[in-house]
Amino acid sequence: MGPQRPYVARKQIMFRIFRLSFILLLFVAGVMASLASAEGPHITVLRVKGAINPVTASYIQRGIGSAEASGALAVIIQVDTPGGLDSAMRDIIQRFQASTVPVVVYVSPAGARAASAGTFITMAAHVAAMAPNTAIGAAHPVGGGGEEISGTMQEKVTNDAVAYIKGIANQRKRNADWAEKAVRESVSATEEEALKLGVIDLVAPDLPSLVASLDGRAVSLPAGSKTLSTTGAAIQSVGMNWMEDFLFAITDPNIAYILLSLALTGLFLELSNPGAILPGIVGGIALLLALFALGMLQANFAGVLLIFFAFILFLVELWVASHGMLTIGGIISLIVGSTILFSGVPGLELSFWVEASVVIAISSFFSFVVGAVVRAQRRRATTGREGLIGKTAVARSALEPEGMVFVEGERWEAIVDDGRVEPGEEVIVRSIDGLKLRVARLKS
């Protein structure tokens, strides 16, 4: 038992060191938490660049929640957007109205715009600001598939949008008449025009100037009026997390379209070559991501079906001898489906060059594949019994009209139709009748 005591002692010492380290770690974590909760006055800054979609709405909602939890003085959302989805826009505005911290929408940097859905979002903020050389407006609604709405439906949708933006403008004490024109007539305004018209509250050249301009400004929150005191406030940027970055990337119309094309191409290769595995795996993953993105973007359902139909035609062409007609139909279906997939939704348009590149690449690929299949179907067999047709044979015995011939290393029974053939004379195989060859004399 004696020799074991040093080992036991060392074990007890290691346990005490571990326990002390754990307690020290807890202490440091508590100090860091206390420092975090006692941090000085700060303003949370979010940045939105691109189309307004559900990922954008989720990011803004999370950012405002983070600002509320950390006791931020305000939330500044830097916006540069061509517009986006109505549903995502309304989710963002509802979060503005429920926020317990002031929300400032800042259209920046120079050259940025707050068009379409961005106009609603800017006017819904507690404080609306713009940088020099920026624009706001052009908020006329369009259909879910990007098409121009007509008839009674156009009147209903437009009136609904007008009522919504006028309610927002009146709540924030901004120019409701201009807001109505932005929806009905798609009017736009520069930052100076918007300031004179009462569409926004101030113009600031950069973020520090905006923070300074916010000092002493009173805003109305659900709990009552609040006066901002931003002097000396620190700026804390809250960016998208990795998941939001990924989802925002694939919900770009061009990326979603490429994913859909890649998915259907991979599945085509797997179905035409069962057991390849890799194309099927890649195609399946790409298809799931594409369907997620298309659902988030509210893509035109008819466009998606036309693209699927195009690939079905390409696949059927492999087994049906249509002399390329199915391929032509598939290319036409692909072009039409790609054109109407995202046609005109502000900020969600499909790039012409991306569409043209994908259509040309896929059409060329399937034209090559189908062409190879058609050529293989038309090519005369070179092996087996059918491969003997047209070959030259040598008579082993007299053919009068039946006898034996030697062709391609084998002896065959043969029948000649044009007279007697002497042994050693050459004949040509015309057809196969059961187990006999029908031959003709080889004329000089």
Report whether 326 contacts 316 (CB < 8 A). yes
Active-site hit among 108, 116, 261, 343:
116
Of 112, 111, 113, 92, the closest CA to residue 103 belongs to: 92
Strand partners, 225: 220
Which uninterrupted H or E stretch holds 104? strand 103-107
| Cα distances (Å, whole numbers) of residue 391 to 386, 398, 439 | 10, 19, 10
DSSP code of 13? H
Does the bond joining 401 to the residue before it have cis omega, within 30 degrees of 0?
yes
Report whether 67 contacts 41 (CB < 8 A). no
Report whether 359 contacts 335 (CB < 8 A). yes
Is 116 one of the annotated active-site residues of the chain?
Answer: yes
Is 156 one of the annotated active-site residues of the chain?
Answer: yes
Phi, psi of 431 (to 5 degrees): -160, 175
> How many residues are there in the chain?
444
Phi-psi region of 193 (alpha: psi -120 to 50; beta: other; left: phi over 0): alpha
Active-site hit among 11, 156, 173, 391:
156
Does the bond joining 109 to the residue before it have cis omega, within 30 degrees of 0?
yes
Of 98, 70, 41, 38, the closest CA to residue 238 belongs to: 70
DSSP code of 3? G
C-alpha atoms less than 13 angstroms from C-alpha of 242 in its C-beta half-sphere: 0
Show Cβ contacts of residue 399 under 8 Å, excluding neighbours closer than 6 positions. 405, 414, 415, 416, 420, 421, 427, 439
Residues labelled catalytic = 116, 156
